[in-house]
Amino acid sequence: MHKKEFTTISSRQIERLYGPEAMGDFDYARDLGSPGEFPFTRGIHATMYRGRHWTMRQFSGFGTAVETNERYKFLLHHGQTGLSVAFDFPTLMGYDSDQERSEGEIGKCGVAIDTLADMETLFSGIPLDKVTTSMTINGPASILLAMYLVVAEKEGVSWDKVGGTVQNDVLKEFIAQNSWAFPPEPSMRVVVDMIEFCTKHVPKWNTVSISGYHIREAGSTAAQELGFTLADGIAYVEACVKRGLNVDDFAPRLSFFFNAHNDFFEEIAKYRAARRIWAHVMKERFHAKNERSLILRFHTQTAGCSLTAQQPYNNVVRTTIQALGAVLGGTQSLHTNSLDETLALPTENAVRIALRTQQIIANESGVVNTIDPLGGSYFVEALTNEMEKDALAIIKKIDDMGGILKAIAIGYPQKEIAEASYRYQKQIESKEKIIVGVNDFTVKEDHPIEILRIGEETAAAQIERLRKVKQTRDAHKVKQTLAALKEAASTNKNVMGPLIECVRAYATLNEMTETMRSVFGEYRDPAIF
């Protein structure tokens, strides 16, 4: 079939051929710079993967801390180089396993964490001064970080040696991901508290992983992913500066997290544009002096939403293309999805194939031998410029609205994403866009694949773990530390210190979030469709 229009997955028009004229008034030093040099379009290091491969970091967690700890040891044994914790929904929302709201959800989508005791089990036998850990947690990020720090302390690892990341990107929760603990304004305050604390006490910790991943998964275009994410980043920097922090003291610890979708070149252009925009924003808007404040480091995850339940083995191929895009775009770390994730959490076998995909790219394909191999391509440079222009237009629009919090309050990013998602789905249904195995090349009957099941016995075991902790802890101490937390939340004291005391006393996650909610209030989504 001959097509009339050639567009990317995000409906961007693509020309038949790109030549020198497509690059406009291209200036190598100004627009690209050498790798490791402003504006970092070609990459953030002078050596990139010749110095070291990206960190292979598979997001993982299920059941109780006991089971997830075993999975972590399995992954480290198979050559994974960093940990990435997936929490279950009750944990993400700040509920305990013994609450009615948690019923049916315990350990299903990630590991259940109620108290410090669970975190001690989760990292048992894992050296926290050698392995870095990324934790996908947002509303209650400050609490989970407090738990991690106390575990490190008990293992004899001092806080200045602890390295890792908490997602802690509350803004994108209101835009797309929808797991929040408090309303937007107090959520921002807690984020700034945590950045302030880490700047002083946990210097190697990445304080916010500013995330476009979920925005894209919710249905945005590539340019929207870039624009909304960078606008969120700007909001965090502004909030910290407003608190009185020096930009160069905290900005080097901010990192980003992007999606790797199917449209190969558009994705590569997105990462390159992201680095260039951020370098300019930090230099010109925030007057950062430290070069490390200017560089945009990012994690990538392949697009979960691109995987199909139909003919699931095809997902290995999709993930490979996406992962290759992330690598050619210069990612610092990568998660590759498993082929069975449209059906359930992945089995060990499926996770191993996903990890092997990265190892094959790193060790067999040869793409790591040179830096930014697509730099200078007429097409890729033109696309990078377009991506930059579109993202800047979104940022400008949000600036004009008075910032991302105002934009969220009127539902601007939410509506834009819902619109883009609807348009894309329509394109699939009209077969304007082809998804192999879904709207073309279908088969009558699929072979069933092996599935990981999380039984209800997990919930019972977790509730029992929690009961034991509640029985053996010093109830008076818990009450005391929670009271101090409430006091800090109601005044302008930093909540991190009091949270660490609550954690040490084995206060539960929900006792801490409830205490803060009693001051901060709750949030309900506007249910726009």
Partner 1 sequence: MEKRVRILVAKPGLDGHDRGAKFVARALRDAGYEVIYTGLHQTPEMIVSAAIQEDVDAIGLSILSGAHLHLFGKVKELLKGQKAEDIVLFGGGIISDEDVAELKKIGVEKIFKPGAPTEEIVSWVKKHVKTK
Cβ nearer to partner 1, comparing 179 with 377: 179
Angle between helix 184-201 and helix 509-520 axes, rounded to 10 deg: 120
144 forms part of the interface with partner 1 (CB under 8 A): no
Q: Which residue has the tokens 């309050």?
A: 409
Interface residue with partner 1 among 131, 309, 436, 469 (CB under 8 A) is 309
Rg for the chain, CA atoms, rounded: 23
Q: Which helix (H) or strand (E) holds 409?
A: helix 404-409
448 forms part of the interface with partner 1 (CB under 8 A): yes
Two tokens at 446?
A: 């699929």
Q: Which helix (H) or strand (E) holds 453?
A: none
Cβ nearer to partner 1, comparing 92 with 210: 92
How far is the C-alpha of 188 from the C-alpha of 111, rounded, in Å? 25
- Contact mark string toward partner 1, 481..520, x via CB under 8 A: ----------------------------------------
Whether 187 and 178 have beta carbons less than 8 Å apart is answered as no
Helices within 296-377 (DSSP H only): 314-328, 348-363
- Contact mark string toward partner 1, 332..371, x via CB under 8 A: ----------xxxx--------------------------
Cβ nearer to partner 1, comparing 6 with 422: 422
C-alpha dist (Å) from residue 52 to 11, 101, 184, 413, 436: 35, 45, 38, 37, 35
85 three-state secondary structure: strand
Interface residue with partner 1 among 31, 96, 105, 511 (CB under 8 A) is 105
157 forms part of the interface with partner 1 (CB under 8 A): no
- Write out 229-247 in H/E/C secondary structure: HHHHHHHHHHHHHHHCCCH
Q: Which stretch, 66-74, 156-164, 303-311, 382-390, contacts partner 1 (CB under 8 A)?
A: 303-311
The DSSP code sequence of 10-23 is T--B--S---GGGG
- Contact mark string toward partner 1, 265..294, x via CB under 8 A: ------------------------------
427 forms part of the interface with partner 1 (CB under 8 A): no
Min dist CB 264 to partner 1, Å, is: 22
How far is the C-alpha of 136 from the C-alpha of 31, rounded, in Å? 34
Helix, strand, coil distribution of the chain in percent, nearest 5: 55, 10, 40
9 forms part of the interface with partner 1 (CB under 8 A): no
Min dist CB 271 to partner 1, Å, is: 23
Neighbours of 331 (CB within 10 A): 25
Cβ nearer to partner 1, comparing 431 with 468: 431
Whether 247 and 292 have beta carbons less than 8 Å apart is answered as no
Cβ nearer to partner 1, comparing 308 with 359: 308
421 forms part of the interface with partner 1 (CB under 8 A): yes
**Phi/psi of residue 206, each to 5°?**
-85, 115
Cβ nearer to partner 1, comparing 31 with 96: 96
> Site size for partner 1, by CB under 8 A?
46
Interface residue with partner 1 among 308, 349, 359, 480 (CB under 8 A) is 308
Min dist CB 397 to partner 1, Å, is: 22
Min dist CB 383 to partner 1, Å, is: 26
Residues that bind partner 1 (CB under 8 A): 89-90, 92-93, 95, 100-105, 108-109, 173, 177-179, 217-219, 305, 308-310, 342-345, 418, 421-422, 425, 428-429, 435, 438-439, 448, 451, 454, 524-529
